[in-house]
Amino acid sequence: MELYGTLGPGCADADTLEAMFAEGMTGVRLNLSHTTLRASAPLLEALHTAAARQGVAPKLLIDMQGPELRIGALAAPVMLTDGGTVTLGGEGIPVPAVVLPALVPGRQVLLDDGKLLLEVTEALPGGARARIVRGGVLQSRKSIALPGADIHPPAVTEADRKNLHDAAACGVTGVMQPFVRGREDLQAVRTALDEAGCSHVRLFAKIENAEGVERLPQLLDAADEIVIARGDLGNAVPLWQLPAVQKRIAAACRDADRPFMVVTQMLASMEHSPVPTRAEVSDVFNAVLDGASSLMVTGETAVGQYPVQVIRYLVRTAAQAMTYMG
């Protein structure tokens, strides 16, 4: 079983990464939504130094930008207060141009993986005004999703192509394609990998929208591994339906003999706590029982306070599940 952490400020030094490998971590994810492989050179140097010390050949997955939508840069974090109003586009919160036609009255807008919720009340030239239904602090470059909107940005961005050009030299072993909408998205990534001389790199298809769930059967033989990405998937369906969706995807992967990964909030409380909740270790345990070939933590190690302890609990819980299965 592969057990991944995520690179970030919480584990940016070689000593911390070495301790994570010593606990049993087999690979890491680098999120390229906010950065590039070249800009991440110091982090990757620390990674490879730590792995060498432990005698590990680490798996390195890069999470592409792909068709995921994000707001632009903010001058400073913005506090969105429940019941207040906010402007999207124009002089307000910068949003991708491709979403502007969908900002019609009544449209829900999810920000930062669904933590914040807006409802459009008025269309404006080049933007919209929205009511803040569920507020909080909004940071730059956070995700934006418009459930039900027909928005189709390209599967591979120019930034993705530049990162793929550098992938082989950086030791990348896998590419995670977000928001897969159909087989053609994966074919576009395969073509980009071939053009970059990375035909050997494994392709991970992230299932995190309704289209991906609906078209899963046509994706199973087009990807090397399926990723049950529960963050945005939990925005695409009512949250109480998410466990059943996860179970159905897992069952489809087992039936097709296709490896799958489970990711998002597996040990989320450990961003700020050295010990996980009982529900979290049960979640990890049950993901292994469902047949997952890989598990991944994200913010827990990228920005969390206890990255080494996170990997310890992830590895030991997964091992206990494997023992239980015999």
Q: Domain spans of the chain?
A: 2-67+152-325, 78-145
- In this structure, the dihedral spanned by the alpha carbons of residues 277, 279, 281 and 286, taken in order and rounded to 10 degrees, is -170
Nearest to 66 by CA among 168, 212, 257: 212
Left if phi > 0, otherwise alpha if psi is -120 to 50, otherwise beta: which for 65? alpha
DSSP letter, residue 148: T
The count of other CB atoms within 10 Å of the CB of residue 282 is 12
Is the sign of the CA dihedral 106, 111, 114, 116 positive or negative?
negative
Residues of the chain with confidence (pLDDT) below 70: none
Identify the pLDDT of residue 262: 98
Q: Which residues are catalytic?
A: 29, 70, 206, 264
Q: Tens of pLDDT along 69-84? A: 889 999 999 999 999 9
Tell me how long the chain is.
326
Report residue 83 CA to chain centroid gap.
30
To which CATH superfamily is domain 2-67+152-325 assigned?
Phosphoenolpyruvate-binding domains (3.20.20.60)
Q: How far apart are CA 165 and CA 11, in angstroms?
A: 26
The CATH code that applies to domain 78-145 is 2.40.33.10
Identify the pLDDT of residue 277: 98
Judge contact between 131 and 157, C-beta under 8 A: no
Identify the pLDDT of residue 243: 97
Question: What are the structure tokens assigned to 250, written together?
Answer: 């897992």
Q: Tens of pLDDT along 123-178? A: 999 999 999 999 999 999 898 989 888 888 889 999 999 999 999 999 999 999 99
